[in-house]
Amino acid sequence: MTETHVATPCLLLLEDSVIDAELISEQIDRLEPRPRLVIATGKQAFLEALAQDKYDLVLSDFSLPDFDGMAALDIVVEHAPETPFIFVSGVLGEDAAIDAFRRGATDYVLKQRLNRLPSAVERALSEAHERHRRRRAEHQREILVRELSHRVKNNMAVMLSLIRRTAKTAKTVQDFEHSLSARVTALADGHALLFENNWNETALHAVLDRASASFGGLQGRICVENAPNVRISPRIALSLAMVFHELIANAARYGSLSTPNGRVDVCWRMEPRQDDAPLVQFSWIESGGPAITAPGQGGLGSKLIRSMIEYELEGRASMEFARSGLRCLLSFPLTEGLTSS
């Protein structure tokens, strides 16, 4: 069973009386986990302590010979406004207490009732922790909303580009509908894979497998050999999902996957670079299919592949339309993501 680690609170006590400081320390020692208590006996020591460390809570007497608790409260509120501040005083009138709360104090405990101190400290620390948790959650939510907005805008831009490009090359309405639906589905499949991985890095192999699965009947015909485990960021994964869709679609329609005996050999490797992100070198070699020729001006699939690799991923794409089949070589920097052999 794994034990939960609880951080040890660090408290700063402003108190000039040695006896009172010992009594307060005894009460603080009753807490679990036992806090670390730093004692400052005057103004200079208090200021030096604040400058040298961060504290989870400040305890302070109300009146000291060279200083006073209200001035200490003002300093803490100015420089560490989220730090709870509790007065521990022998005398604290109603007007002074009201003024202290107005200026940011968390609580006060009379020295005649120090048995209240542990519960007051626990409550103040708990409330401060909850405020910090809520702020952190709100900050995380803001980041997620901004990221979602950014992704939606990017996806809309990709969709508009796909619509325009598909419309230019489609010969019939049915052709346009079929091609656009397939590309939108490829984009959706890429998103689904990333969602399953909580929008963290995902395996390059998984992106290729997901793209292949949408076509059906290709098991064992796209052969990956000696390829290392490469984990890629969501941005790279979405671009590659579109690239793999175009490669597979073209192979299934015109290339090696359009015949029963055709196959594709796929491989990738990492190429380290000094003082720069490593390159992923990816090869797609078709064989066993019909003789092919380079597409004309209307080769949208080739244009999309080059666009995704060269503009989205800042890489290079080379496609050789040999009679034996397409040879596609891609390289792109792994600017985001993790790799392992």
User: Binning pLDDT at 50, 70 and 90, where does residue 331 land?
Assistant: very high
Residue with tokens 């869709």: 245
Least confident of 64-78, 138-152, 322-336: 138-152
**Contact predicate 105/76, CB 8 Å:** no
Residues in the chain: 341
User: Binning pLDDT at 50, 70 and 90, where does residue 30 land?
Assistant: very high
Task: Express each pLDDT in 300-320 by its tens digit.
Answer: 678 888 888 988 889 999 999
316-322 vs 325-333, strand pairing mode: antiparallel
Rounded CA-CA distance 291/279 in Å is 32
User: Binning pLDDT at 50, 70 and 90, where does residue 154 land?
Assistant: low
Asked whether the predicted pLDDT for residue 340 surpasses 50, the reply is no
Which residue type occupies 161? S
Least confident of 11-15, 162-166, 175-179, 227-231: 162-166
Rounded CA-CA distance 300/162 in Å is 10
Rounded CA-CA distance 309/329 in Å is 11
pLDDT at position 2: 44
pLDDT at position 291: 80
Asked whether the predicted pLDDT for residue 29 surpasses 50, the reply is yes
Mean pLDDT of the chain: 85
Rounded CA-CA distance 78/162 in Å is 55
pLDDT at position 336: 59
pLDDT at position 107: 92
**Contact predicate 334/340, CB 8 Å:** no
Task: Express each pLDDT in 90-119 by its tens digit.
Answer: 877 788 888 999 999 999 999 999 999 999
Residue 251 CB neighbour total at 10 angstroms: 27
Phi-psi region of 97 (alpha: psi -120 to 50; beta: other; left: phi over 0): alpha
Q: How many CA atoms lie within 13 A of 294 on its CB side?
A: 8
pLDDT at position 144: 66
User: Binning pLDDT at 50, 70 and 90, where does residue 14 land?
Assistant: very high
Mean pLDDT on 266-270: 94
Rounded CA-CA distance 81/104 in Å is 8
Percentage of the chain beyond pLDDT 70 is 88
pLDDT at position 263: 93
Mean pLDDT on 155-162: 68
Structural tokens at position 221: 């015909």
Mean pLDDT on 26-55: 93
Tell me what percent of the chain is helix, strand and coil, each rounded to the nearest 5: 50, 20, 30
Asked whether the predicted pLDDT for residue 3 surpasses 60, the reply is no
Rounded CA-CA distance 305/183 in Å is 12
Asked whether the predicted pLDDT for residue 297 surpasses 60, the reply is no
Higher pLDDT, 156 or 44: 44
Higher pLDDT, 57 or 132: 57
Rounded CA-CA distance 263/277 in Å is 32
276-287 vs 263-273, strand pairing mode: antiparallel
63-64 vs 67-68, strand pairing mode: antiparallel
- Listing DSSP states for 73-105 in one string gives HHHHHHH-TTS-EEEEES---HHHHHHHHHTT-
Residue 28 CB neighbour total at 10 angstroms: 21
**Contact predicate 46/14, CB 8 Å:** yes
Rounded CA-CA distance 202/193 in Å is 8
**Contact predicate 241/212, CB 8 Å:** no
* 3-class state of residue 173 by DSSP: helix
Least confident of 72-81, 133-142, 184-193, 222-231: 184-193
Task: Express each pLDDT in 234-259 by its tens digit.
Answer: 888 888 998 999 899 889 888 999 99
Domains (range + CATH), the chain: 10-131 (3.40.50.2300), 200-333 (3.30.565.10)
Give the dihedral sign, CA 168/169/170/171. Answer: positive
Backbone phi and psi for residue 115, each to the nearest 5 degrees, phi listed first: -65, -15
Rounded CA-CA distance 262/288 in Å is 4
